[in-house]
Amino acid sequence: MFKFLKKDAFWLGITIGIVVPGVIYLLLHFININVRNHVSDRPYLTESMVQILSLVMNLLLMRYYLINLKADKTGRGILLITFILGITFFIFNM
C-alpha cells in the first residue's frame, strides 16, 4: 500500500522526520485541550512534555528504518531532523 515508505532516500527521512512529530504534536495537543476542558482546569501534560513526546516517535521510527529495513539514508534523514528539533527545543525552553 505505502511502498514509497520502504525506499531508502534521504529526502524521505527528512519528510518523515518533519511530518510524524507534527502529527503527534497536534494529536497530543488536542487530547490535552479536551482533557483540560472536560476533566479539570489544568492541562494533563505540559507544553514541553507534549513537544518531547512528539520527538520520541522519531526515535522509534529511526530505529525501525535503521535496523529492520536497513534503510540507512532514510534513518539518517530522520536523525538529522530529530537533532534539529531537539536543539530547537532546548534553545527555546531553557
pLDDT in tens, the chain (94 residues): 677 778 889 999 999 999 999 999 999 999 888 887 777 777 778 889 999 999 999 999 999 999 999 999 999 999 999 999 999 999 998 7
Contacts of 6 (CB under 8 A, 6+ apart): 69, 71
Collapsed DSSP state (helix, strand, coil) of residue 72: helix
Would you list the domain boundaries of the chain? 18-93
**In contact, 10 and 73? CB cutoff 8 Å:** yes
Q: What's this model's pTM, rounded to 2 decimal places?
A: 0.85
**Does an H or E element contain 56, and which?**
helix 47-63
| CA nearest neighbour of 35 among 50, 22, 52 | 50
